[in-house]
Amino acid sequence: MIKNTLKMWPKIILFGDSHTQRSFDPNNGCWGALLANKFQRVCDIVPRGFSGYNTRWCKMIMPKIFAQFKAEEIACVTILLGSNDSVPASSVTGQHVPVDEYRKNLVAMLNHLTSKGIDKDKIILITPPHMHQTIFKAWSFEQNRPIIPETWEKDLIKYVDACRSVAKEMNISLLDLYKIFMAVKDNNEKLFNDGLHLSRDGGQLLYDNLLPLITERVVRITGKPLTDQSMQYPYWRDVDVNNPEKSLLRP
């Protein structure tokens, strides 16, 4: 059991764009909320998602975001970026980042984390999922949002490949979300709410595949399997009702 005098609870930091920002939205992916439920009383899940952001902007804010944490308290960091970078250059949104720069930005962010003492074994790089441009176009029209040029869906795979290559070259764990989603052959559209952002089904699939990778890292930092015995403070049945201080305030 983790000592009650632990100065800080381990942190699982989720860093990325709207796929991460919406990870606690009950009407969307909800994968962050599923992680928070799984690891409550073991680790804090810290969502740091920024809807609409690309790697250029995230690289700028990362130092300030991670300055709030100590390297030794971090159990895991996930990075999920690329959907916005891959928006075609002709789009009026201004989010486009050339694939070569996208790749360099990922490398720079990973190097920043390791330079701050965060072991690269704690980092999980997640490829962006695919998307359904026809569905997202219809949704954008209904919402009076900018219509993204037709090449977006086709261009996205270049960014997925870049993410894969960065993970391989830097020896960083990779969750190939694009491949996982594409393997769903029947009614693949159900994985998305609007053709781009994850539905509850999509969030569940992401969670199911991410959980073993995060669990491995949590076990590493806590030194205990993920059971009731790994919870911060004892399970209620283990509290000595005649002398609760002995159970709750012990070193």
pLDDT band at 150 (very low <50, low <70, confident <90, very high): confident
Does a structural domain hold residue 163? yes
Does a structural domain hold residue 92? yes
Does a structural domain hold residue 102? yes
Does a structural domain hold residue 5? no
Percent of the chain with pLDDT over 70: 94
CATH number of the structural domain spanning residue 159: 3.40.50.1110
CB 148 within 8 A of CB 87: yes
Does a structural domain hold residue 2? no
Does a structural domain hold residue 3? no
What 3-state class would DSSP assign to 11? strand
Distances (CA, A) of 233 to 7, 130, 153, 197, 216: 13, 42, 48, 37, 21
Number of domains in the chain: 1
d(CA 98, CA 96): 7
The strand pairing partners of 123, in sequence order, are 77
Which residue has 């869906």 as its token pair? 153
Does a structural domain hold residue 203? yes
d(CA 130, CA 179): 8
User: Which of the residues are catalytic?
Assistant: 18, 194, 197
pLDDT digits (tens, 9 = 90+) for 17-65: 999 999 999 888 899 999 999 999 899 999 999 999 999 999 999 999 9
Residue 223 lies in domain: 11-248
**What pTM, to 2 d.p., does this model score?**
0.91
pLDDT digits (tens, 9 = 90+) for 194-248: 999 999 999 999 999 999 999 999 988 877 777 655 677 777 788 878 888 877 8
Does a structural domain hold residue 103? yes
d(CA 42, CA 227): 9
Tell whether the model's pLDDT for residue 5 goes beyond 60: no
